[in-house]
Amino acid sequence: MTTVRIDERIATHRASLSPQERRAADTLLQHLDDLATYRAAELADLAGVSKATMSRLFRSLGYADFDEVRDHLRAQRVAGEPRQLNAPASLPAHARAEAATIATVVGQPGVVPAVAALASARRVHVVGWRGSHAVALHLRQQLAQARPDVRLAPLPGQVMGEELADVDAGDAVLLVGFRRRPVGFSAFLADAVATGADIVLLADPTAADHRRHLGPRGTWLGCPIATELAFDSYAAAMSMAAVLADGVLAARGAAGRERVTTISNAYLRLREIE
């Protein structure tokens, strides 16, 4: 039962709860987003019930005590759900942690082979779903400044079958796979590897099991996104996008510089930017 969310447990057991326990349960639901920041006694006061009633509620829901509730909420946060675990959050500490993560991410050895693959490929396919799609979109925009034929997938309203049909040896697939990935992620990775293309997997530690499926032409770029805040941070991922694009631009040499100039001149002719 440990995987069942606390709100689902309340819904399942509500009919069997006493009136006081229901009152306490309603308070838990009202504070679900920041529940872990309270103590059990504080929750009892908020609900207007005794600490004994609150303890009985936790046991009725299948928890030994409030510490187990906290552990359950932390597990949900690790899975990617936005949950406040500390209140108030220390923003200076958050900023320091972000800086340390960025330094580790951009300095990892996999950056060099990833840049080489992205610079030399005939075509680059940048792929990402859900939260990963925003990173993929930015990566595509950055890489397209440095080299031609950079594609983004999936496009709105599209599925992946037709995208894979165009991938073959000589291409590179930059797959962004941060947590809360779609169910078909592993199947897509397997099919992409089977094409013979170079694969670059940019993902957080929850995707570590996928590393063994990358094959000899695969590169892993680990990028943590977990924070002490309620939401994940993609600061390191965006820094990685800049580092990869910078590396590709340098590797392309004169061709890359000429492309930047051509694009900038097009902006001016079309009056697209200030």
Distances (CA, A) of 96 to 214, 223, 226: 32, 16, 14
Q: Are residues 136 and 10 in the same domain?
A: no
Q: Is 53 domain-assigned?
A: yes
Q: Are residues 100 and 74 in the same domain?
A: no
Residues 6+ apart with CB under 8 A from 142: 241, 242, 244, 245
DSSP letters spanning 172-227: EEEEEE-SS--TTHHHHHHHHHHTT-EEEEEE-GGGGGGGGGS-TTEEEEE-----
Check residue 35 and report its DSSP letter: G
Q: Is 191 domain-assigned?
A: yes
Q: Is 83 domain-assigned?
A: no
| Final residue belonging to a domain, choices 54, 78, 102 | 78
Check residue 16 and report its DSSP letter: G
Structural domain of residue 257, as residue ranges?
A: 92-270
User: How many CA atoms are closer than 13 Å to the CA of 206, on its beta-carbon side?
Assistant: 14
Check residue 230 and report its DSSP letter: S
Q: Are residues 168 and 263 in the same domain?
A: yes
pTM over the 0.85 mark: no
CA quadruple 49, 76, 108, 245: dihedral, nearest 10: -110
What CATH number is attached to the domain comprising 102? 3.40.50.10490
Q: Is 1 domain-assigned?
A: no
| Final residue belonging to a domain, choices 78, 110, 133 | 78
What CATH number is attached to the domain comprising 49? 1.10.10.10
Distances (CA, A) of 188 to 123, 129, 165, 171, 191: 18, 12, 12, 15, 5
Q: What is the pLDDT of residue 88?
A: 65
Q: What is the pLDDT of residue 34?
A: 72
Q: Is 86 domain-assigned?
A: no
Q: Is 61 domain-assigned?
A: yes
Q: Are residues 117 and 234 in the same domain?
A: yes
Q: Are residues 70 and 112 in the same domain?
A: no
119 near 251, Cβ under 8 Å?
yes
C-alpha to C-alpha distance for 43 and 35, rounded to whole angstroms:
9
| Final residue belonging to a domain, choices 78, 108, 138 | 78
Q: How many domains does the structure of the chain reveal?
A: 2
Q: Is 250 domain-assigned?
A: yes
Q: What is the pLDDT of residue 174?
A: 98
Residue 28 burial (CB count, 10 A): 22
**pLDDT truncated to tens, each residue of the chain (274 aa)?**
456 778 888 888 888 999 999 999 888 888 877 777 788 898 899 899 999 998 999 999 988 888 888 888 777 666 666 666 666 667 888 898 889 999 999 999 999 999 999 999 999 999 999 889 999 999 999 999 999 999 999 888 777 777 788 899 999 999 999 988 888 899 999 999 999 999 999 999 888 889 888 988 899 999 988 777 778 899 999 999 999 999 999 999 999 999 989 998 898 889 888 7
DSSP letters spanning 118-182: HHH-S-EEEEE-HHHHHHHHHHHHHHHHHSS-EEEESPTT--SHHHHTT--BTBEEEEEE-SS--
Q: Is 87 domain-assigned?
A: no
Q: Are residues 121 and 227 in the same domain?
A: yes
Q: Are residues 103 and 37 in the same domain?
A: no
